[in-house]
Amino acid sequence: MKSLSVIISTANQRILGLNLKPVHSDVCYVVVHQVYDASYKNESLPDFISRDDVTYIRLDYPGLSKSRNVGLSSVKTKFAYIMDDDVDFDLEKMRQLVDWMEVEQADVGTCQHIYQNGLYPYEYKQNVFKHGKLSLAKVASIDISLNVDSVRRRNINFDERFGLGTTLPSGEEYIFLSDCLNAGLSIKYFPLLTGIHPVLVSGTDFFSSPQKVLAKREMLLRVFGAFGIFYIFAFWLKKINIVYKRGYFWSFTKLMLIGK
């Protein structure tokens, strides 16, 4: 019986560029395909849809967090790995990750990815460690593996107000992981490189639209509650030089600190 499901969210025509790995004895896929673009003319689906190791789910509405939740609810294996449709992933490293999670008794495991230009998003540590709220802020969604039963027993899902396809287009992975931590789950980092991501990533632009700025503000309020305003100010202080150089000082400051 397979023990790992890779949940891949894709939308509209993007599914045509999705390349799954050859059949693996211990891995299966849940492909959640959101079709909501009027220009998408129901082109023929890729051949992999008919594979025995693939569960294909079509939705007629947007929302990345909604896609993740549908995918998680459809998993029948012990472990699940969250994945995007533009990442070249390593199944053997993913298997090593869940094996390591079992040894370390981790409910949620995070790992590493690299960009196609050979650079890392930041300097990863080379030792296993237990996450706290601050270290979780660096984790990308494509670096997350989880014990499905642990998450289901505590009824933890992605907050569907956040993520691409909503008016708050980021922050859903940090909220999800924080909810896991608050529920008492063990979240550990493992020094394994599992994926290669295109250089352009949505998370690096947090200031160019009101929706992106408000997503960060609302994310911090969601995670830290009454103390969120202090973390909002700290985030503003940390990022203000970058924002100033890009010409978004006033709009970023007003929305981040005041919320309107």
User: CA-CA distance, 86 to 223, in Å (whole number)?
Assistant: 28
Does residue 122 contact residue 47 with C-beta atoms inside 8 Å? no
Residue 78: closest CA among 52, 48, 101 = 101
User: CA-CA distance, 207 to 75, in Å (whole number)?
Assistant: 35
Say which CATH architecture domain 4-203 belongs to: Alpha-Beta Complex (3.90)
Does residue 149 contact residue 78 with C-beta atoms inside 8 Å? yes
Per-residue pLDDT tens listing for the chain (260 residues): 789 999 999 999 999 999 999 999 999 999 999 999 888 877 789 999 999 999 999 999 999 999 999 999 999 999 999 999 999 999 999 999 999 999 999 999 999 999 999 999 999 999 999 999 999 999 999 999 999 999 999 999 999 999 999 999 999 999 999 999 999 999 999 999 999 999 876 557 889 899 999 999 999 999 999 999 999 999 999 999 999 999 999 999 999 999 98
In the chain, where are the structural domains located? 4-203, 205-257
Query: Residue 233 CB: number of other CB atoms within 10 A?
Result: 13
User: CA-CA distance, 111 to 97, in Å (whole number)?
Assistant: 8
| Per-residue CA distances from 184 to 104, 156, 171, 189 (Å) | 15, 12, 20, 16
